[in-house]
């Protein structure tokens, strides 16, 4: 029987492994909790009503319909046994493997305050994006019905915690949504009085990028009306309010909608793997892998993507971005192929093509090798790169039409409050006693 | 101050009233629980993964952005007081009116067995459509993991209760999904072994249509592999099984997915209105209206669309379809305008342009006046009419592209299991003891 390669996770990393092995003499089983691949870099567009979920997702079975050596299983892996080379699924089924590739991604963490999650949703899944969309749009609706000015303003204050690429993109899109798209749609208030506040703990935004790009991102966001507060450490997230510290000063801000784009950590499966294999993990729960991306002492178990801590190249772990996951997936596939053919494989090396983040409707910052780009041209490149990587021809076409439409009309069609009946969460006691609305426009 | 027209419900009826009054010297408040207009006739496409929710919905605020005499409120009406001419919203807010138009639509009813609702979802909302999509796709996934042939078949048996237009359209789309779209996507079984069974209590499908069209619909469905069982009265819907009676014979059918497209009734607001105004209702809870669509003894309260029972024209109540609601909405708007100008208005008359139902990828049945059409040509007309009525240019374009894609590739892109983590509901005890899989292919 042909060797069995089991891949856990249908994200960028898992897909890259399966595709690279399409002509290989192996059987592949791809296991994912969800039945679709999700293009996470565009999730913020779903959260702000610019795109629908199906436009940034593709059914896994559809992607592998013609690749007959792939079997897709829609299931959750609950245990891993390296001795017997077997996985256990949520329903008790046991799957044997010859090679195991784990690429199950990351989740948000709340710096030890997991109770904040209910008040400040993160942005990792379709459901997260729909929850954010629901909160944002419901707040605008509640403001239309609210007659007390102070309470209304609390519905119109939006806080985003975390100034990395996700926070920056979300803040830009949110500012456009509330200040531009819905400008003429409410009768009881002017949506331009809505405030979008981006809180970042570090002294600058986009800390992984060169400093001039951070400065440019800040200016572009401010032009969109985003209030950027750096050096702000969140101390409390509660219904209707955020408390943060800046230096010695403590600020309390009344806001009904708080969104989380701060810390990420590995999914719980990383912990299971570490316990079963004795693999070391870093403080974010990521598995510290060997130069060939395998788990120490388990040459046929690989961890790639956001779950892996790979620091052999530069000393610092590689960032949790799609290009890293894809290159690691291709590497592991090649590594398995070489081993089957008795050939050696040199250690993994990441080829860093650059980073980019988009800010609103026509600005972006990008680093491509040593090149730094900002503004409209960077935005065009961002658009091109993201369209090219969207899986499936039809999605690309639909997203392009949608974007063209959004760009020219400044409308956002997918502004639906769905998932649960509309029930505003505000009650008298959920508002803080005093409002020190003190985020300064810097 | 200008007269205040309050419209409850942003469906076809409510929109028609507001649009017809766009240049009228009135203030309009449009109240809906949801923030979007939903094109219900295409919901079955969302349920079967052909379209995404945003493609058949349009935000109400976006539709009325430029109509400055309309104020949209996203709220639920919980009480109506005809004496003070005031409505109460879910949050206690009170809205006064001079004219009240109630167009809040219909809901499914389960012939007194409301406990069936959890096992057999209906198809009225976006959430319903997503729930059906989740159940259908999850069943196909469960079948891929199931090794026992009898249990697998229970996952692959789909039952639709109700052979009206919704049931017929849903059955056709579902048969295409399981027999054609996913044909090459599973490795453990052949999806063509899936069975789609349509149960109808009457002796024929589409009872509101001329008999030859019913016969044609049955044949078209059977060509798609749907098993049509007429004269079947459902006696029980439980997890994993449906029991129905046909003549004296009782049949039990093992099926994990049961969908409900049978009885509809008015939403509970109709009952509130009837209690407050003393208006008569029919057995489906619809308000029996006057020839001018007003509530008896309340000349300034109108009920239109699926909530209204209007039998003055033909003796039988008009059907709950979009054209009736739209024409009634236009009539009521004109009736209000005439009254403001001191002019009389003749009674409402429905101009029946016809009916149509689509069956799968390229067949439909249509009655246009005295003309009866079937097959591919009827399908083209169905396509054209539905595209024309889709609200908003962009939706039309996107839906057209999507349909063209689905038509030529037989793919369905929006096949996402969303809304809750994937958790198969089958446990050993949820399966019936014996399987009398006895739906005959007629």
Q: Looking at the predicted structure, is the pLDDT value of residue B436 above 70?
A: no
Could you tell me if B171 and B291 lie in one domain?
no
8 Å CB contact of A65 and B145: no
Could you tell me if A148 and A207 lie in one domain?
yes
Does the residue A150 lie in any domain?
yes
Q: Looking at the predicted structure, is the pLDDT value of residue B402 above 90?
A: no
Domain count, chain A: 2
Does the residue A240 lie in any domain?
yes
Could you tell me if B188 and B79 lie in one domain?
no
Segment (H or E) for A439: none
A57 to chain B nearest CA, in Å? Answer: 8
Could you tell me if B283 and B183 lie in one domain?
no
Q: Looking at per-residue confidence, does A69 or B353 come out higher?
A: A69
Q: Looking at the predicted structure, is the pLDDT value of residue A437 above 70?
A: no
Which of B55, B61, B56, B54 is closest to B39 using CA atoms? B56
Q: Is B279 helix (H, G, I), strand (E, B) or coil?
A: coil
Pick among A33, A74, A93, A396 to test the B interface (most B CBs inside 10 A)? A74
**Active-site position among A169, A200, A227, A252:** A169
Q: What are the angstrom distances between the C-alpha of A75 and each of A82, A92, A302?
A: 19, 10, 20
Q: Looking at the predicted structure, is the pLDDT value of residue A126 above 50?
A: yes
Residue A422: what pLDDT?
38
Could you tell me if A152 and A231 lie in one domain?
yes
* pLDDT-based confidence at residue B433 (cuts at 50, 70, 90): very low
CATH assignment of the domain containing B83: 3.50.50.60
8 Å CB contact of A397 and B397: no
Residue-wise pLDDT for A345-391, tens only, equals 999 999 998 888 989 877 899 998 888 999 888 888 888 888 888 77
Residue-wise pLDDT for A10-45, tens only, equals 999 999 999 999 999 999 999 999 999 999 999 999
Could you tell me if B383 and B250 lie in one domain?
yes
Residues 6+ apart with CB under 8 A from A186: A140, A143, A144, B61
Boundary (domain end) residue, out of A285, A310, A340: A340
Residue-wise pLDDT for A294-309, tens only, equals 999 999 999 999 999 9
Could you tell me if B385 and B251 lie in one domain?
yes
Could you tell me if B181 and B121 lie in one domain?
yes
Does the residue B156 lie in any domain?
yes
Average pLDDT over residues B200-213: 93
Residues 6+ apart with CB under 8 A from B180: B361, B410
Does the residue B55 lie in any domain?
no
Q: List A residues 75-94 in contact with B (Cβ-Cβ < 8 A).
A: 75-76, 89-91, 93
Does the residue A437 lie in any domain?
no
Distance CA B201, CA A349 (A): 66
Q: List A residues 340-379 in contact with B (Cβ-Cβ < 8 A).
A: none
Does the residue A40 lie in any domain?
no
Residue-wise pLDDT for B138-195, tens only, equals 999 999 999 999 999 999 999 999 999 999 999 999 999 999 999 999 999 999 999 9
Does the residue A68 lie in any domain?
no
Could you tell me if B81 and B202 lie in one domain?
no
Weakest mean pLDDT among B26-40, B110-124, B160-174: B110-124
Residue B400: what pLDDT?
81
Collect all residues of chain B within an 8 Å Cβ-Cβ radius of residue A182.
Answer: 61
Closest by Cβ to A127, choosing from B144, B187, B418: B418
Could you tell me if A243 and A371 lie in one domain?
yes
Number of H helices, E strands in chain B: 11, 25
8 Å CB contact of A422 and B74: yes
Could you tell me if A120 and A249 lie in one domain?
yes
8 Å CB contact of B413 and A59: yes
Q: Is B141 a catalytic residue?
A: no
Collect all residues of chain B within an 8 Å Cβ-Cβ radius of residue A184.
Answer: 65-66
Q: What percent of chain A has pLDDT over 90?
A: 76
Q: Looking at the predicted structure, is the pLDDT value of residue B263 above 90?
A: no
Average pLDDT over residues B128-140: 95
Which of A71, A3, A11, A19 is closest to A333 using CA atoms? A19
Residue A420: what pLDDT?
60
Mean pLDDT score of chain B: 90
Question: What's A307's DSSP letter?
Answer: G
Q: Looking at per-residue confidence, does B251 or A441 come out higher?
A: B251
Q: Is B359 helix (H, G, I), strand (E, B) or coil?
A: strand
* pLDDT-based confidence at residue A421 (cuts at 50, 70, 90): very low
Q: Is B290 left (phi over 0), alpha (psi -120 to 50) or beta?
A: beta
**Active-site position among B55, B130, B169, B252:** B169
Residue-wise pLDDT for B283-300, tens only, equals 999 999 999 999 999 999
Distance CA A18, CA A37 (A): 13
Q: Supply the range of the domain harboring residue A374.
A: 114-262+362-409+411-430
Residue B102 forms beta bridges with which residues?
A: B8, B303
CATH assignment of the domain containing A190: 3.50.50.100
Distance CA B402, CA B417 (A): 19
Question: What's B212's DSSP letter?
Answer: H
Does the residue A180 lie in any domain?
yes
Could you tell me if A256 and A220 lie in one domain?
yes
Residue-wise pLDDT for A227-280, tens only, equals 999 999 999 999 999 999 999 999 999 999 999 999 889 999 999 999 999 999
3-state percent helix, strand, coil for chain A, nearest multiple of 5: 35, 25, 40
Residue B158: what pLDDT?
98
């Amino acid at each position: 029987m042909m060797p069995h390669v089991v891949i856990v996770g249908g994200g960028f990393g898992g897909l890259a492994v399966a595709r690279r092995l399409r002509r290989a003499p192996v059987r592949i089983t791809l296991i994912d909790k969800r039945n679709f691949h999700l293009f996470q870099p565009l999730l913020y567009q779903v959260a702000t009503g610019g795109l629908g979920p199906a436009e940034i997702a593709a059914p896994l079975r559809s992607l592998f319909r013609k690749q007959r050596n792939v079997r897709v299983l829609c299931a959750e892996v609950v245990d891993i046994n390296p001795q017997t080379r077997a996985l256990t699924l949520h329903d008790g089924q046991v799957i044997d493997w010859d090679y195991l590739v784990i690429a199950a991604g990351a989740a948000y963490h709340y710096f030890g305050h997991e109770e904040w999650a209910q008040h400040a949703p993160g942005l990792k899944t379709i459901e997260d994006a729909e929850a954010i969309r629901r909160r944002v749009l419901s707040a605008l609706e509640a403001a239309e019905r609210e007659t007390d000015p102070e309470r209304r303003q609390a519905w119109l204050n939006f806080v985003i915690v975390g100034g990395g690429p996700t926070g920056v993109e979300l803040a830009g899109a949110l500012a456009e949504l509330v200040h531009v798209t819905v400008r003429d749609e409410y009768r009881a208030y002017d949506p331009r009085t809505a405030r979008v506040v981006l809180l970042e703990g570090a002294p600058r935004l986009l800390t992984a990028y060169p400093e001039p790009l951070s400065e440019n991102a800040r200016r572009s966001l401010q032009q969109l009306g985003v209030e950027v507060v750096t050096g702000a450490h969140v101390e409390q997230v509660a219904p209707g309010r955020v408390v943060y510290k800046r230096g010695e000063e403590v600020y309390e801000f009344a806001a009904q909608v708080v969104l989380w784009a701060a810390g990420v950590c590995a999914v719980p499966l990383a912990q299971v793997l570490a316990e079963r294999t004795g693999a070391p993990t870093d403080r974010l729960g990521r598995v510290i892998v060997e130069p060939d991306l395998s788990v120490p002492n388990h040459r046929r178990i690989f961890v790639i993507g956001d779950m892996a801590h790979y620091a052999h190249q530069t000393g610092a772990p590689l960032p949790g971005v799609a290009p890293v996951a894809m290159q690691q997936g291709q590497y592991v596939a090649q590594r398995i192929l070489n081993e089957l053919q008795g050939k050696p494989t040199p250690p993994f090396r990441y080829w860093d093509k650059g980073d980019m983040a988009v800010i609103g409707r026509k600005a972006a910052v990008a680093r491509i090798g040593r090149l730094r780009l900002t503004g409209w041209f960077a935005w065009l490149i961002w658009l091109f790169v993201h369209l090219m990587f969207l899986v499936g021809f039809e999605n690309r076409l639909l997203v392009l039409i949608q974007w063209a439409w959004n760009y020219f009309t400044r409308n956002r069609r997918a502004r639906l409050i769905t998932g649960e009946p509309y029930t505003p969460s505000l009650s008298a006691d959920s508002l803080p006693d005093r409002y020190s609305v003190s985020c300064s426009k810097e």
